[in-house]
């Protein structure tokens, strides 16, 4: 795999290419390739998550001196959640470089987005170790903060359920309601599927490990559909 193409895309050349490879190594890949000489990316993901939060927080703090903590927190949450991270990963072509098992490589749903988001955080952690905080912050500003205008313009910083209710009441004079469609898995690891309805019409389905998470996911998909 030619990782230089990814380096070109992100405008950063690694001094230690193994850090880049580690950041893209999903745990499933090691199950099928036990001779792979690097660990999975979970430690780098842990580090990168913290660097991403700090760099984003610092930038928002400096850009919006008049904004209160609650507003800045909402902006940050919209910029660093897994959906946004997965979107950015796709924009830079990261999915072409993540090392996965054959089974994981076939999954194109929510699980794939989570893997891509984690790889993004791993990449940020790798850049931090390969250079320094400023190097990682430069990456975050270029690829994450560049979505800030979109977040504000589209109201993505608002809670998805509240935003859907605002839009559906304003445009359709209808209040959304949510119903559990199914519950799967054992009690300690249950997955809920929830449908969001406008009148009797189901406009989207979301899944999550709690009813609340599933409702939020359903609201986000409904906003995209509408």
Asked if residue 45 belongs to a known ligand binding site, the reply is: yes
Asked if residue 118 belongs to a known ligand binding site, the reply is: yes
Residue positions annotated with a catalytic role: 49, 121
Angle between helices 42-63 and 110-130 (to 10 degrees): 80
| CA–CA dist 137, 145 (Å, integer) | 10
Half-sphere exposure of 159 (CA within 13 A, CB side): 9
Asked if residue 150 belongs to a known ligand binding site, the reply is: no
Q: Can you spell out the DSSP letters for 120-178?
A: HHHHHHHHHHHS-HHHHHHHHHHHTGGGHHHHHHTTTTS-HHHHHHHHHHHHHS---EE
Instruction: State both tokens at 2.
Output: 């030619």
Length of the chain equals: 226
Residues within the annotated binding site?
45, 118, 121
Residues within the annotated binding site for Mg(2+)?
45, 118, 121
């Amino acid at each position: 795999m030619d990782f230089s193409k990814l380096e070109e895309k992100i405008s950063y050349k690694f001094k230690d290419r193994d850090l880049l490879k580690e950041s893209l190594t999903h745990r499933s890949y090691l199950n099928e390739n036990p001779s792979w000489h690097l660990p999975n990316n979970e430690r780098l993901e842990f580090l990168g998550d913290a660097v991403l939060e700090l760099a984003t927080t610092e930038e928002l703090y400096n850009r919006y001196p008049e904004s209160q903590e609650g507003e800045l927190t909402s902006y940050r949450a919209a910029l660093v959640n897994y959906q946004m991270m997965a979107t950015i990963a796709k924009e830079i072509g990261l999915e072409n470089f993540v090392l996965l098992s054959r089974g994981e490589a076939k999954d194109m749903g929510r699980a794939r987005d989570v893997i891509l988001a984690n790889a993004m955080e791993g990449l940020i952690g790798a850049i931090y170790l390969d250079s320094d905080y400023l190097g990682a912050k430069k990456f975050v500003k270029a690829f994450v903060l560049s979505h800030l205008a979109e977040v504000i313009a589209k109201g993505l910083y608002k809670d998805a359920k509240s935003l859907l209710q605002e839009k559906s009441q304003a445009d359709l004079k209808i209040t959304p309601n949510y119903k559990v469609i199914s519950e799967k898995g054992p009690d300690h690891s249950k997955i809920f599927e929830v449908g969001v309805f406008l009148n009797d019409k189901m406009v989207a389905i979301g899944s999550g490990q709690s009813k609340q998470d599933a409702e939020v996911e359903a609201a986000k998909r409904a906003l995209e559909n509408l």
